[in-house]
Homo-oligomer: A and B are copies of this chain.
Amino acid sequence: MKETKDKIILKALQYFAEHDYQTVSLNSIAKGIGITKGGIYHYFSSKDELFLECMISVVDKMKEFSLGSMSENVELEDILTALFSFDNIFKIMAESFDIDFMNNYYNYSYMIFVGMKKFPQFREMISKLYVEMQQGLEFMFISYAEKELIRKDINYKLLSFELIALVEGAILVAGFSKEIDLTEVGKDIVGSTIERISI
């Protein structure tokens, strides 16, 4: 059955996110789902491989979310809104992996960091994802600009990069400042961006 393998990945992901790759022992993961250490090696040839599979399933979900929101929406404002609706991002991640990232997005970022440090392959995936997102946004801005719906004198490559950086940075920094309400931040960013590009 594939059940055990999935259980391993889910539990591993949870522990990796909560603690740290190196700190989490296979023993603890195994115990966490009621099997023994050796059992993990039925499904994964090493701890690294398990971690990599976890990371891949995370990036798959991220891709699904990020790029999905771009293709489905037509209105520029909707796309921006989707991109900056942090609540939604967290909710989806939490649902997918049964981890409450809402109050602990820092852990999530950290895990991604570790993953990229360990696996150049994974770093490449993340990198590619960002580039795709940036290009998707850029493409959309430009098509709007061509239709003269938004200003033409803006470097949309930079703007789209900034927006993505803003999403990541906001999530990061918000983890430190309790006073900041990300939902409000999202709305503000969407508003000011619209204003900035409006004719």
Is A136 interfacial (CB-CB < 8 Å)? no
Is A78 interfacial (CB-CB < 8 Å)? no
Q: List 7 A-B contacts (CB under 8 A).
A: A110-B113, A158-B184, A161-B177, A162-B170, A164-B173, A165-B170, A168-B173
Residue of B whose beta carbon sits closest to that of A134 = B177
Which of A1-9, A93-101, A122-130 lies on the face that meets chain B? A122-130
* Option from B106, B116, B184 in Cβ contact (under 8 Å) with A116: B106
> Chain A's interface: helix, strand, loop or mixed, by majority?
helix
From 147 to 178 in chain A, residues with beta carbon under 8 angstroms from any chain B beta carbon are: 155, 158-159, 161-162, 164-170, 172-174, 176-177
Taking Cβ atoms with an 8 Å cutoff, the residues of A that contact B are: 20, 22-23, 106-107, 109-110, 113-114, 116-117, 123, 126-127, 130-131, 134, 155, 158-159, 161-162, 164-170, 172-174, 176-177, 179-180, 184-185, 188-189, 192, 195-196
Number of copies of this chain that the complex holds: 4
Cα(A106)–Cα(B114), bound, Å:
11
Give every chain B residue within 8 A of A177 (Cβ-Cβ): 127, 130-131, 134, 161
Whether B170 and A185, one on each chain, are in contact in the complex, defined by CB atoms closer than 8 angstroms, is no
Give every chain B residue within 8 A of A188 (Cβ-Cβ): 155, 158-159, 162
